[in-house]
A = this chain, B = another copy of it.
Amino acid sequence: MPLIPIESLGPSTFTSPLRYPIELKHGGFVPDHLGIRHSTEVDFNSTDGKDLNLVFEKAGPRAKLFFNPSEASAAIVTCGGLCPGLNNVIRSLYYELYFNYKVAQILGIRHGFQGLNPEQGMPPVWLDRKVVSQIHNDGGTFLGTSRGSQDPKVMVDFLQVRGINLFFGIGGDGTQRGNQAIHNEAKRRGYPLAVVGIPKTIDNDIQYCDRSFGLMTAIDKAREVIRLAHTEATGNPRGIGLVKVMGREAGFIACGATLASQEVNFTLIPESPFDLDGEYGLLKALEHRMNDRGHAVIVIAEGAGQDLFEPSEDKFDASGNHLLSDIGPLLKGRILEHFNRIGEPVDLKYIDPSYIVRSVPANSEDALLCDALARRAVDAAMSGRTNLFIAPMNSSFAHVPITMTLDAKRRVALDGWFWNSVISATGQAPQFRNPRS
């Protein structure tokens, strides 16, 4: 059971200026010999589960720092699609750096990695209290964002010229790849740059990150929309509410909103393929439901049912994401067609809330999480750690090497309590064989 090692820029040299932990009775600095288990499950019949042995370094303030706060400079960048909580992360990074560590120079990069390329992006802004003090109450990111990366040489030039030592890159796996490229280039040059990532994915699909910020807010908003779909479905004779939510490869939003609302009858996620036709297909299950109860609500993640489309040439967006076919209209069309064919038309209302669930301000749960991630990220960078990201892990926070997140994406476990609860709450059988009568 070894500790996953974290790359470091060098030995600690400076004493932390943080006053508070010193005064705490039991200390507040996290010693380097503490780790956090990734898995908390114990199997008393078998003690050699591979995954059970992963132990990550515990995040938190260190007594000794690599950087001298009075000389360090920081830069913050937000990349990819909007996600509730970006402004909260920016603000807490600023406050922790400026007020607690006394780092005076903090640069805000505009519109993602574009802003690190002087030929493409807008010039950066120096942050101060006035400019960030209220941003956490707004959705979006006041720095702006964009998709795609830039030449690592250009980006490190940009940072080196401005004397930046602490780099905080907030984004999804594309961004973490960019962070790693920046780290590699700086390392090649021997330039001491602490690169710390903060995982951002509204889909919650980053490995070794228990819960990414924005997810709960998205679930909140999706729940609201589901309730409206339920209102529409029950308000009309033979009403069906069909709601498409985000979730390219992972169905966390669809599942979470289902459990929060308890008014969904079919939850379709990328992890669990399904048939439309046939005795055990969705349409037959929906037919049973309509005959039994007269109304239904269906929630589908955007990445579900992609195998129902004709294979076509692959396309990608600027972030390198595979462009999905739009499952919402396909499903709507097939349902209408089915019920027309059997002579029992339905009144289907299709709702695609799209940006509505991601541009809102962070709710309390996410606001709290963003604050903790940001402060732990500053702790890690100031101690000279690099090429890592901060992850909430069980009831703590851990340092995870960026490399580890690039291997695979997180998925809803089909044998875990979460999906199990979805099946209980919807009454759907995994392949719609025996919907609740």
Interface residues of A (CB under 8 A from B): 1, 3, 19-21, 23-28, 31, 33-37, 40-45, 55, 58-61, 82, 88, 91-92, 95-96, 99-100, 111, 114, 122, 134, 136-141, 144-146, 210, 216, 219-220, 223, 225, 227-229, 231-232, 234-237, 256-257, 259-262, 349, 351-356, 359-360, 363-365, 367-368, 371-372, 375-376, 393-397, 414-415, 417, 420-421, 423-425, 427, 429-431, 433-434, 436
Contacts and interface: CB of A to CB of B under 8 A. Distances in A.
A44 B33 contact: yes
26 contacts: A1-B42, A20-B420, A24-B415, A26-B415, A33-B43, A36-B42, A41-B58, A59-B417, A96-B424, A99-B427, A111-B237, A134-B134, A134-B138, A144-B235, A144-B236, A145-B235, A145-B236, A216-B365, A225-B356, A229-B355, A256-B368, A259-B368, A262-B367, A363-B365, A371-B425, A394-B395
Given A35-B43, A36-B42, A232-B355, 12 more contacts: A23-B429, A91-B262, A92-B425, A140-B231, A140-B234, A145-B236, A219-B365, A223-B364, A260-B364, A353-B356, A371-B421, A372-B417
A82 B35 CA distance: 39
A35 B24 contact: no
Copies of the protein in its oligomer: 4
Contacts of A31: 45
Nearest to A21: B420
Contact of A395 (B36, B210, B223): B210
Nearest to A217: B364
A4 to B, nearest CB: 11
Nearest to A356: B228
Given A40-B393, A139-B228, A216 B364 contact: yes
A69 to B, nearest CB: 14
Contacts of A429: 19-20, 23
Given A145-B236, A356-B353, A43 B34 contact: yes
Contacts of A60: 417, 420
A382 to B, nearest CB: 13
A61 B397 CA distance: 30
Contacts of A393: 40
Contact of A235 (B34, B59, B91, B141): B141
